[in-house]
């Protein structure tokens, strides 16, 4: 009996050893299968869509333009510097945005993919008629598109504009767009709106969405004059030469997915200042003491604006204080703004007044022209008063915003004066 | 055990299961998670003292307190709930893998590979699983912490209010209905015999559970600051999407790839634990010591069960309505009834003991 039990136990331990080895082998096989190489595609078989353009087409159709990157030539050959030829462009008409890639795939031996798409450019004419959020619904549903791609409104047909994105620094078109999206930090004349920002703002419903405007650059002529460099939208600044034939300035305002108006570069700057998105920019103002002269200042936003709000006999009253630091970088007024504190204060107050006037004009446009809040003032200050969604909805913020009293106080502090102590001629 | 508990619970938030809390909790999904977690803990606490006995698992107590017939029925119900959870979770994970990595591969093939990868390691027993869990725990938390920190760069505090979302009464009602979201905590009671002392068990259970609930609430809170309600409610894969919008310019992009790989590993280890627990339950239900012979069976059930839902939405709805809203009574009543019956029996034994002693003294 004891011998039989021993034999049984030995057999059991042998079986257990064999089973352990089988399990290890199977597990190793699984490890090789788990990475999913069954679904792989060679890079040479693929082509990447960098920019997508959407224009109107007859009927309910859309005219789609793709800027296509050839992945095989992207890296350049061995020993050569990295540089890429101009992208390839393709335009076609399709009834829906979602299935547009199929049409493009039909005339290419590569697999077209949107995983590297950096921007979607929509024609202004189209979005005045159609609901943009509804039209680009496929973008957020389709697995290849990313919610961080840049959404841009074009004042010219996207089909004509996309091939114009051609940097002389050999930056590929999709990267030009990607670099341009961060220019807002240094110019303040264009917002950085991703697809996610746009959809979130539209769906929240208490704020109007804005997108940057792109347009073809205007050529400089002998008679070319503009009042101020920032009082323009894309395509209105005359420039000769330069890097690109396109320009990023201004913003398009959307109410419920429809384009309802444009913001000029200076207005976008006010928007960015009130939403604490700007870092640094240069500004030129008329000299407060010598009207024929002008002063250039560099402005830095280090602190967010302080927004307070209360109900004044049923009417909303916002008080916004925007602290800013600035440095005098140029003046032809021959006034000693550096060593005379009284003059420094005069210049600071002139800047305050200039920006307050611009802000008031923009707020007036929002209340009367766009019928909504582009700054999200309600979200940042007022919504905290409400504990539930039902209470907030019942408050009808947008309606109240259009009748609200909004005081904006800019608080410029001159903290630096460049490298000169006193101006020329004093 | 702490690592196991946290991987099981926190791993859940990274798959589409998070949609359930976001859908019912709106902008206050984090609050719903806290309420459901607290309620589940309150339901379980009355039976905690039973687990002072080192060698008895939840099933042993069920048989002991309810008798063989009712104990088997209750055990079977728990096993069924666990199998449904495995099948629905497996399908959700496979869907997320399809979207993230393998869009054209047949889902049946992915499920097959997944089932193999989640069943085979179970043969190595709790020690192997525990050690690999510890590694995954570190990986998962590094990934999760970094993801939350990266997400903060896209966060807007103004997305937070209204802080009570749909309102406190609504949240409390949904909190009760969705306490099944944390029902995986019952697995700790099955693993009790693997811990030496009651003190160790109680500490790892309470710490692991509370930390997991707090982590889930924190993750949902940060997520809401990045993608607010109602946009968040429109997403099928919330955390994959939020990882995709993390953007630091041209040089740091597509970090969701790193996140997704860590998620797959943690998801597999989580399912390993589920298969282990289900096999253990089968063995205990049939009163046999060798759980290994049930691994293949549980694996096969998971494979076929995960293929039943025709779409991800039906899978998610089933998980929400059947596994949580319709089953919340099961998760509430079993621990409470077990604790209560055990307490009454103990009290009666004590009284009988006292009476017997008094009679003896009188005699």
What CATH number is given to the structural domain containing A364? 3.30.300.210
Cβ(B241)–Cβ(B259) below 8 Å: no
Strand runs (DSSP E) across A1-45, as ranges? none
A148 closest CB neighbour out of B109, B124, B244: B244
- For B228, the closest chain A residue by CA position comes to A200
**Which chain B residues have a beta carbon less than 8 Å from that of A391?**
162
Cα–Cα distance, A103 to B242 (Å, whole number): 30
- At residue A78, the pLDDT reads 45
- State the count of interchain CB pairs (< 8 A) between A and B: 101
Cβ neighbours around B108 below 10 Å, total: 12
Closest approach of chain B CAs to the CA of A259, in angstroms? Answer: 21
B227 closest CB neighbour out of A178, A200, A390: A200
In a domain, A8, yes or no: no
CA distances from A78 to A71, A75, A81, A172 (A): 15, 9, 8, 19
Cα–Cα distance, B329 to B74 (Å, whole number): 12
A89 three-state secondary structure: strand
- At residue B140, the pLDDT reads 82
In a domain, A29, yes or no: no
Q: How confident is the model over B24-80, as pLDDT tens digits? A: 999 999 999 999 999 999 999 988 888 988 888 888 899 989 998 999 999 999 999
Cβ neighbours around A27 below 10 Å, total: 16
- At residue A77, the pLDDT reads 47
Cα–Cα distance, A220 to A389 (Å, whole number): 53
Cβ(A397)–Cβ(A382) below 8 Å: yes
In a domain, A18, yes or no: no
- Checking if the pLDDT of B169 tops 50, the result is yes
Higher pLDDT among residues B122 and A230, named by residue: B122
pTM over 0.80: yes
Cα–Cα distance, A40 to A33 (Å, whole number): 12
Most B CBs within 10 A among A203, A306, A389, hence the mutation to make, goes to A389
Cα–Cα distance, B238 to B19 (Å, whole number): 7
Interchain contact B164–A (C-beta under 8 A): yes
Q: Which residues contact A40 (CB under 8 A, 6 or more apart)?
A: none
Last residue in a domain, options A270, A302, A329: A270
- At residue A80, the pLDDT reads 47
- Checking if the pLDDT of B6 tops 90, the result is no
Higher pLDDT among residues B302 and B254, named by residue: B302
| Interchain pair B26, A182: CB under 8 A | no
Same domain, A62 and A200: yes
CA distances from A315 to A312, A397, A404, B46 (A): 5, 11, 6, 54
Provide the β-strand partners of residue A424. Answer: none
Interchain contact B69–A (C-beta under 8 A): no
**Which parts of chain A sit beneath pLDDT 70?**
1-16, 30-39, 71-86, 170, 224-230, 425-426
The dihedral over CA atoms of A333, A337, A342, A347, expressed in degrees to the nearest 10, equals 70
DSSP track, B243-278: HHT---SSSS--THHHHHHHHHHHHHHHHHHHHHHH
Same domain, A54 and A118: yes
Q: How confident is the model over B191-221, as pLDDT tens digits? A: 888 888 899 889 988 999 999 999 999 999 9
In a domain, A19, yes or no: no
The total number of structural domains in chain A stands at 2
- At residue A79, the pLDDT reads 45
| Interchain pair B161, A383: CB under 8 A | yes
Same domain, A198 and A337: no
- For A118, the closest chain B residue by CA position comes to B250
- At residue A372, the pLDDT reads 93
Q: Which residues contact B59 (CB under 8 A, 6 or more apart)?
A: B71, B75, B190, B281, B284, B285
Peptide bond into B230 cis (omega under 30): yes
DSSP track, A213-232: EEEEPEEP-TT---S-TTS-
DSSP track, A262-317: EE-HHHHHHHHHHTT---EEEEEEE-SSSTT-EEEEEEE--SPPEEEEEEETTEEE
Beta strands A246-255; A280-286: pairing state = unpaired
Interchain contact A18–B (C-beta under 8 A): no
Q: Which residues contact A232 (CB under 8 A, 6 or more apart)?
A: A226, A249, A250, A264, A265
| Interchain pair B110, A36: CB under 8 A | yes
| Interchain pair B228, A204: CB under 8 A | yes
Last residue in a domain, options A270, A305, A339: A270
A30 closest CB neighbour out of B116, B158, B161: B116
Q: What angle do CA B163, B164, B170 make, to 5 degrees?
A: 165
CA distances from A171 to A72, A166, A176, A179, A245 (A): 17, 8, 6, 9, 13
For residue A176, give both structure tokens.
């030009």
| Interchain pair A204, B110: CB under 8 A | no
In a domain, A159, yes or no: yes
**Which chain B residues have a beta carbon less than 8 Å from that of A19?**
123
Same domain, A146 and A176: yes
Most B CBs within 10 A among A386, A388, A392, hence the mutation to make, goes to A388
User: CATH 3.20.20.60: does it fit domain B2-331?
Assistant: no
Q: How confident is the model over A200-240, as pLDDT tens digits? A: 999 988 899 999 999 888 777 777 666 566 677 777 777 77
In a domain, A6, yes or no: no
Cα–Cα distance, A213 to A216 (Å, whole number): 10
Q: Which helix (H) or strand (E) holds A192?
A: none
Give the rounded distance of the alpha carbon of A120 from its chain centre. 11
- For B261, the closest chain A residue by CA position comes to A35
Same domain, A238 and A294: no
**Which chain A residues have a beta carbon less than 8 Å from that of B230?**
203-204
Cβ(B75)–Cβ(B285) below 8 Å: yes
Same domain, A161 and A192: yes
Same domain, A124 and A221: yes
Same domain, A237 and A348: no
Same domain, A247 and A134: yes
Gap between the terminal Cα atoms of chain B: 52
Give residue B355's region: left, alpha or beta (phi > 0; psi -120 to 50). alpha
Beta strands A209-216; A258-263: pairing state = unpaired
Chain A 139-158, CB below 8 Å of chain B: which residues? 140, 143, 146-148
**Which chain A residues have a beta carbon less than 8 Å from that of B104?**
39
For residue A292, give both structure tokens.
């024929």
**Which chain B residues have a beta carbon less than 8 Å from that of A23?**
120, 123-124
Give residue B67's region: left, alpha or beta (phi > 0; psi -120 to 50). left
The dihedral over CA atoms of A227, A229, A232, A236, expressed in degrees to the nearest 10, equals 90
Cβ(A117)–Cβ(A70) below 8 Å: no
Same domain, A126 and A230: yes
What percent of chain B is modeled with pLDDT above 70? 98
In a domain, A33, yes or no: no
In a domain, A117, yes or no: yes
Same domain, A261 and A289: no
| Closest by CA position to B160, among listed A52, A381, A322, A8 | A381
**What's the domain range around A297?**
279-426
Most A CBs within 10 A among B122, B231, B253, B264, hence the mutation to make, goes to B231
Cα–Cα distance, B141 to A327 (Å, whole number): 45
- At residue B178, the pLDDT reads 92
- For B157, the closest chain A residue by CA position comes to A380
A221-248 core/surface letters (b: 16 or more CB in 10 A; e: else): eeeeeeeeebebbbbbbeeeeeebbbbb
**Which chain A residues have a beta carbon less than 8 Å from that of B99?**
143
Peptide bond into A378 cis (omega under 30): no
A10-19, A173-182, B253-262, B270-279: least confidently modelled range: A10-19
For residue B41, give both structure tokens.
């803990």
Residue B222 per-residue DSSP state: H
Closest approach of chain A CAs to the CA of B156, in angstroms? Answer: 9
Chain B 243-262, CB below 8 Å of chain A: which residues? 244-247, 249-250
**Which chain A residues have a beta carbon less than 8 Å from that of B245?**
146-148, 194, 196
Closest approach of chain B CAs to the CA of A178, in angstroms? Answer: 8
**Which chain A residues have a beta carbon less than 8 Å from that of B157?**
380
The packing angle between helices B29-44 and B18-25, to 10°, is 110
B105 closest CB neighbour out of A23, A36, A178: A36
Same domain, A53 and A129: yes
Burial class (CB within 10 angstroms; exposed 0-12, middle 13-18, buried 19+) of A309: buried
| Closest by CA position to A127, among listed A56, A178, A197, A36 | A56
Provide the β-strand partners of residue A322. Answer: A410
Length of chain B: 363
For residue A215, give both structure tokens.
């347009």
Last residue in a domain, options A222, A237, A270: A270
Cα–Cα distance, B96 to B270 (Å, whole number): 15
Cβ(A49)–Cβ(A114) below 8 Å: yes
Instruction: Give ipTM to 2 decimals.
Output: 0.84
């Amino acid at each position: 009996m004891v011998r039989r039990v021993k034999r049984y136990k030995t057999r059991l331990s042998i079986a257990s050893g064999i089973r352990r080895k089988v399990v290890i082998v199977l597990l190793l096989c699984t490890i090789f299968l788990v990475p999913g190489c069954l679904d792989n595609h060679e890079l040479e078989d693929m082509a990447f869509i960098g920019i997508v353009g959407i224009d109107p087409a007859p009927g309910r159709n859309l005219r789609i333009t793709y800027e296509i990157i050839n992945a095989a030539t992207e890296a350049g050959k061995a020993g050569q510097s990295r540089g890429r030829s101009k992208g390839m462009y393709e335009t076609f008409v399709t009834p829906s945005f979602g299935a547009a890639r199929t049409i493009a795939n039909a005339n290419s031996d590569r697999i077209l993919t949107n995983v590297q798409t950096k921007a979607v450019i929509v024609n202004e004419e189209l979005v005045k008629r159609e609901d943009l959020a509804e039209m680009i619904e496929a973008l957020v549903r389709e697995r290849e598109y990313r919610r961080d791609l840049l959404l841009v409104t074009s004042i010219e047909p996207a089909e004509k504009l996309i091939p114009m994105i051609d940097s002389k620094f050999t930056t590929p078109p999709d990267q030009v767009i990607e670099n341009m999206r961060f220019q807002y930090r240094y110019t303040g004349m264009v917002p950085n709106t991703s697809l996610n920002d746009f959809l979130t703002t539209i769906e929240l419903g208490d704020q109007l969405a804005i997108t940057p405007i792109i347009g073809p650059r205007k050529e400089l002529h002998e008679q070319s004059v503009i009042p101020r460099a920032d009082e323009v939208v894309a395509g209105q600044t005359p420039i000769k030469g330069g890097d690109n034939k396109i320009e990023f300035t201004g913003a398009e305002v959307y109410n419920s997915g429809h384009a309802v108006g444009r913001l000029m570069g200076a207005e976008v700057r006010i928007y960015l200042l009130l939403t604490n998105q700007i870092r640094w920019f240069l500004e030129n103002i008329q000299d407060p003491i010598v009207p024929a002269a002008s002063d250039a200042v560099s402005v830095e936003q280090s602190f967010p604006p302080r927004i307070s709000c209360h109900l004044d006999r049923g009417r909303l009253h916002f008080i916004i204080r925007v602290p800013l630091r600035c440095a005098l970088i140029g003046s032809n007024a021959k006034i000693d703004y550096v060593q005379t504190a009284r003059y420094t204060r005069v210049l600071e107050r002139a800047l305050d007044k200039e920006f307050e006037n611009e802000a008031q004009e923009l707020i007036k446009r929002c209340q009367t022209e766009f019928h909504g809040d582009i700054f999200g003032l309600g979200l940042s200050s007022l919504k905290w008063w409400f504990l539930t969604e039902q209470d907030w909805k019942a408050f009808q913020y947008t309606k109240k915003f259009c009748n609200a009293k909004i005081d904006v106080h800019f608080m410029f502090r001159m903290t630096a004066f460049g490298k000169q102590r006193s101006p020329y001629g004093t | 055990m702490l690592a196991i508990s946290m991987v099981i619970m926190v791993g859940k938030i990274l798959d589409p299961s998070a949609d359930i809390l976001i859908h019912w909790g709106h902008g206050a999904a984090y609050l719903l998670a806290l309420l459901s977690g607290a309620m589940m803990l309150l339901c379980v606490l009355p039976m905690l003292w039973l687990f002072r006995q080192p060698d008895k698992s939840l099933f042993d107590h069920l048989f002991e307190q309810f008798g063989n017939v009712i104990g088997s029925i209750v055990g079977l119900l728990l096993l069924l709930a666990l199998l449904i959870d495995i099948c629905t979770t497996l399908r959700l994970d496979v869907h997320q893998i399809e979207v993230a990595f393998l869009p054209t591969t047949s889902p049946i093939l992915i499920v097959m590979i997944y089932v193999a990868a989640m069943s085979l390691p179970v043969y190595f027993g709790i020690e192997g699983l525990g050690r690999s869990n510890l590694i995954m725990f570190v990986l998962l938390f590094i990934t999760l912490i970094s993801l939350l920190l990266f997400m903060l760069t896209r966060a807007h505090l103004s997305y937070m209010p209204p802080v009570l979302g749909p309102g406190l009464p609504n949240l409390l009602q949904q909190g009760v209905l969705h306490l099944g979201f944390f029902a995986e905590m019952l697995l700790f009671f099955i693993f009790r015999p693997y811990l030496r002392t009651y003190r160790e068990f109680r500490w790892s259970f309470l710490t692991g559970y509370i930390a997991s609930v707090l982590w889930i609430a924190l993750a949902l809170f940060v997520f809401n600051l990045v993608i607010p309600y109602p946009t968040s409610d429109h997403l099928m894969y919330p955390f994959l999407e939020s990882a995709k919008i993390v953007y630091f310019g041209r040089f740091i992009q597509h970090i969701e790839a790193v996140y997704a790989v860590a998620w797959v590993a943690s998801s597999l280890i989580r399912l390993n634990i589920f298969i282990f627990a289900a096999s253990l339950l089968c063995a205990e239900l049939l009163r046999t010591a060798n759980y290994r012979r049930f691994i293949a069976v549980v694996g096969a059930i998971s494979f076929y069960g995960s293929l039943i839902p025709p779409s991800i939405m039906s899978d998610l709805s089933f998980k929400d309505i059947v596994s949580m809203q319709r089953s919340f009574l099961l998760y509430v009543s079993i621990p409470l009834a077990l604790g209560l019956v055990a307490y009454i029996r103990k009290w009666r034994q004590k009284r009988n003991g006292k009476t017997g002693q008094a009679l003896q003294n009188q005699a």
